Amino acid sequence: MAKSVKNLLPWFLNWKTKNLTHHQFLMVLSSLIGFISGLIAVTIKNLTHYIQALLEGELVINYHNAFYFIFPIFGLALTLIIIKFWFKKEVGNGIPTTLHAISRKSGIMRRFQTYASLITAPLTVGFGGSVGLEAPTVVTGASISSNISRIFKLNQASRTLLIGCAAAGAMSALFKAPIAAIIFAIEIFSLDLTLVSMIPLLLASVSAILTTYFFTGSDIILHSQLSDEFQISQVPFYILLGVLASLCSIYFTKIYFRINHFFSRIKSPFYRLLIGGAALGILIFFIPPLYGEGYDVINNLLQENYMYALQNNIFGNLNDSIWVVIALLAGLVVFKIVATSLTLGAGGIGGIFAPVLFMGSAMGHCFALIINNLGFLARPLSVSNFTMVGMAGLMAGIMHAPLTAIFLIAELTSGYELFVPLMITAAISFMITSQFQPHSVYTLDLANRGELITHNKDQMVLTLLNIRGVIETNFVTVDIEASLGDVIHNGVIKSSRNLFPVVDENGHFMGIILLDDIRPVMFNQKLYDEITVRELMQVAPEVIDISKDRTKDIMKKFQDSDAWNLPVIENEKYIGFISKSKLLTAYRQKLIEVTV
């Protein structure tokens, strides 16, 4: 039986080659991946809600604030135990993990990632961790896509496209917004927008949303319907909201990476748990709306029910002053990213998508309440509209995904009446934020390490190119203490190259000797013992340090030096040469490989 199963894959691959074109097979796989992504979305949401339901009861209702402190720490501890003693590997947090796999591992993701986030994310969020489930859903689907691609021996370009299909499927299933899901995959994963890539993304998105409709019906995460029309007189306020969103986006990113950097310096995961868990528990104890994903808070704000959104606050009755409400909403904007960063720093598994929407809704709601209560408008602003547009503004700024922001909110509101204000706020937020932070929160860490794949095809190919694979080692080295005779007998006679690297007794690279340098004296045997290598050698026009120089740096060195061969060192020791012709050939081959 096992043997017949083992032989099934080669038979299928052979059948596929004879009966399906590559693009037809991609379309079949993209539909399958969309279905799988839909199942993952349903599973991860239901697991989280099941945990939350178990925690809700008479005891929790009576002593709710105390459990706001206890539950998040308990969930983080369970997550740490599972990662430490079961997986025994770092799980990573969602989309940056997937982008790293695309950038540095040719889209290959480890098999344990197909279930790691599926288990740990519901524990983190179900017990009150202040993160979202979108990124764990994406990374789980992406890992399954990557491993399916490996089974069917697909190339890197197809593997990357199917990872994008998993992302589109996950977002389509979670938000029931198929168009925004496709745009999300294109913007976040830098996929080329061609007909070849669009059809698989479309199939994955549709397949995923049909799957969730089958299991959950018409139920959606965000319940929002437009009740107020867009007024042209409100354009200046949407512009101001865009500026405010850019400031909040910069704040979000700065705080996120500062807290992340703080926890990265703590080597012990148990110390990270104690510090981060305790700080998170205290924060949620005093600000209960920070508990969990926060979609219930967002939905209450969309319905303008800020009483329910801010219930259990430490200030008691909110009827006393609207300015207390405004202050509490501002507090949600300020402290949500702190709670999210503490959750992730303490070892929790989740993403920032839900926190971004949470902060955006609170920001937009707070902004509209401030303007309305200043008393200078004859017709008040629509608080619900500004709440929705605020979410788009923050998404555009933090994730550098303005189109995703626009279409997601437009689809969630079941119409495009807010399209103009969405465009205004998202564009302004993105433009201002990108001037101060050229990379999104997902890509900033990769960009700082020089490992980011962008929409720039040339940069993408340079990033993916395996430099060690183009190093040539068939050069004969000569010792720096040798004589001309040694060069002739041990170098020129034995080598087919016209270039000889000079090294010292420890293998350190010292310089080069060109055949042209010794041609005038190479036939004069009287000089064989008189002239030394030190006299003949010259300094290399440039030297490539393989442990430090990126591909882009190497290309620049060839361009600046106008050389055809450059020596390569590692730890100051000579290891070979790279030729411009071989590098360009490898570049062309990689360009073909990554193009669908």
Whether residue 323 sits in one domain with residue 279: yes
Distance CA 532, CA 588 (A): 42
Spatial CA neighbour of 350 closest among 40, 128, 60, 38: 128
DSSP annotation of 124 reads H
Q: For the chain, what is the mean pLDDT?
A: 84
Whether residue 432 sits in one domain with residue 357: yes
Would you state the structure tokens that stand for residue 137, as one six-digit string?
A: 């859903």
Sequence-separated (6 or more) residues with CB below 8 Å from residue 378: none
Quote the pLDDT of residue 595. 55
Is 136 domain-assigned?
yes
When divided into structural domains, the chain yields a total of 3
Answer whether residue 365 shows pLDDT above 70: yes
Whether residue 529 sits in one domain with residue 406: no
Q: How confident is the model over 560-569, as pLDDT tens digits?
A: 888 888 999 8
Is 409 domain-assigned?
yes
Quote the pLDDT of residue 1. 46
Whether residue 586 sits in one domain with residue 514: yes
Residue 1's SS3 state is coil
Whether residue 203 sits in one domain with residue 243: no
Q: What CATH number is associated with residue 440?
A: 1.10.3080.10
Distance CA 169, CA 201 (A): 8
Q: How confident is the model over 126-135, as pLDDT tens digits?
A: 998 999 999 9
Containing domain of residue 469, as a range?
A: 462-594
Q: How confident is the model over 280-326, as pLDDT tens digits?
A: 989 988 888 898 888 888 988 888 887 776 766 665 555 567 888 88
Is 456 domain-assigned?
no
Q: Which of 450, 484, 514 is the last residue of a domain?
A: 450
Q: Which of 411, 426, 450 is the last residue of a domain?
A: 450
Strands 573-579 and 565-570: antiparallel
Whether residue 65 sits in one domain with residue 141: yes
Q: How confident is the model over 385-422, as pLDDT tens digits?
A: 999 999 999 999 999 999 999 999 988 877 678 889 99
Q: How confident is the model over 457-485, as pLDDT tens digits?
A: 555 666 666 778 888 888 888 888 888 88
Quote the pLDDT of residue 285. 85
Would you state the structure tokens that stand for residue 482, as one six-digit string?
A: 């040798």
| Secondary structure, 3-state, 176-189 | CCHHHHHHHHHHHH
Burial (CB count <10 Å: 0-12, 13-18, 19+), residue 548: exposed
Half-sphere exposure of 535 (CA within 13 A, CB side): 12
Burial (CB count <10 Å: 0-12, 13-18, 19+), residue 496: exposed
Whether residue 436 sits in one domain with residue 517: no
Whether residue 207 sits in one domain with residue 264: no
457-486 in b/e form (b: 16+ CB < 10 A) is: eeebbbbbbebeebbeeebbbbebebbbeb
Answer whether residue 86 shows pLDDT above 60: yes
Quote the pLDDT of residue 455. 46
Q: Rounded to whole angstroms, what are the CA distances from 462 to 384, 450, 466, 534? A: 46, 11, 9, 37
Is 455 domain-assigned?
no
Quote the pLDDT of residue 262. 93
Rounded to two decimals, the pTM is 0.80
Whether residue 243 sits in one domain with residue 391: yes
Whether residue 177 sits in one domain with residue 51: yes
Residue 510's SS3 state is strand
Distance CA 56, CA 126 (A): 11
CB 338 within 8 A of CB 259: yes
CB 206 within 8 A of CB 30: no
Is 79 domain-assigned?
yes
Q: How confident is the model over 498-518, as pLDDT tens digits?
A: 888 888 888 888 888 888 777
Q: Which of 183, 216, 249 is the last residue of a domain?
A: 216
Distance CA 33, CA 568 (A): 43
Is 579 domain-assigned?
yes
Side chain identity at residue 95, one-letter code: I
Q: In the block, which residue shows the tokens 């095809």?
A: 457
Q: With pLDDT > 90 as the criterion, what percentage of the chain qualifies?
A: 36
Quote the pLDDT of residue 417. 81
Answer whether residue 581 shows pLDDT above 70: yes
Q: In the block, which residue shows the tokens 């060195």?
A: 557
* pLDDT average, residue stretch 17-40: 88
Beta bridge partners of 500: 513
Whether residue 190 sits in one domain with residue 54: yes
Would you state the structure tokens that stand for residue 212, as one six-digit string?
A: 């969730």
Quote the pLDDT of residue 240. 96
Burial (CB count <10 Å: 0-12, 13-18, 19+), residue 340: buried
CB 349 within 8 A of CB 120: yes
Would you state the structure tokens that stand for residue 376, as one six-digit string?
A: 């200078």
Our CA dihedral for 49, 52, 58, 60, rounded to 10 degrees, sits at -160
Answer whether residue 454 shows pLDDT above 50: no
In terms of DSSP H, where are the helices of 347-483?
Answer: 353-374, 383-398, 402-412, 419-436, 444-448, 457-464
Whether residue 407 sits in one domain with residue 349: yes
Q: How confident is the model over 526-564, as pLDDT tens digits?
A: 777 778 888 888 888 899 998 888 777 888 888 888 888
Is 10 domain-assigned?
no
Spatial CA neighbour of 404 closest among 152, 106, 188: 188
